[in-house]
Amino acid sequence: MDINQQKEQFSSAFVRVVATVAGYALYKPEVDEDSVDWGIAAKRGTGKLYSPRLELQLKSTSRNVIDDSYLRYPLSLKNYNELRVKTHVPRILVLVLIPEHLSDWLVQSETELLMRHCAYWISLGGKLETQNRTSVTIEIPRNNQFTVEVLQSMIERIGNGGSP
């Protein structure tokens, strides 16, 4: 497996861990032709919607894209356009930051399994069309970490008829 495939698998594992601990099921479309890599489904729910769902476009990078306030990531125009339009199931972009060196990705001992570094999310729903031809640089606030608690809050908002 080449390094890009390893990054893709590591990012998927990151999302699986967060969703599993949050108590949600994951599904994966057989083909990613609509900028959806993963779907997260809640069972039943207590809000307006029964079994709320959220779909994710998953990206990863080892590049230095982070500053004091934001992560700046160049997203393909195709992904940007497919994530910004209104869809039946809300969609978000999840960006997983991965250390440059493979040996730093994971720390494992008898007492812990530590995955490095962090995942961040943003909803592009409702963003305007762009005149860019190939990509759009997305700014993700650093406080938009993709955590168990954040995912649970997003699913709750969706279940109540809101946006992630």
Give per-residue pLDDT as tens, 75-92: 999 999 999 999 999 999
Q: Are 114 and 107 in contact (CB under 8 A)?
A: yes
Reported pTM: 0.95
Does the structure show a pLDDT above 80 at 30? yes
Edge-to-edge strand list for the sheet holding 53-61:
25-27, 38-41, 53-61, 91-97, 118-122
Q: Kindly indicate the confidence band of residue 113, based on its pLDDT and cuts at 50, 70 and 90.
A: very high
Q: Are 118 and 97 in contact (CB under 8 A)?
A: yes
Does the structure show a pLDDT above 80 at 112? yes
Amino acid type, 62? S
Domain annotation for the chain: domains and CATH numbers: 3-159 (3.40.1350.10)
Give per-residue pLDDT as tens, 36-72: 999 999 997 777 888 999 999 999 999 999 999 999 9
- The DSSP line for 74-97 is EEEHHHHHHHHS--SS-EEEEEEE
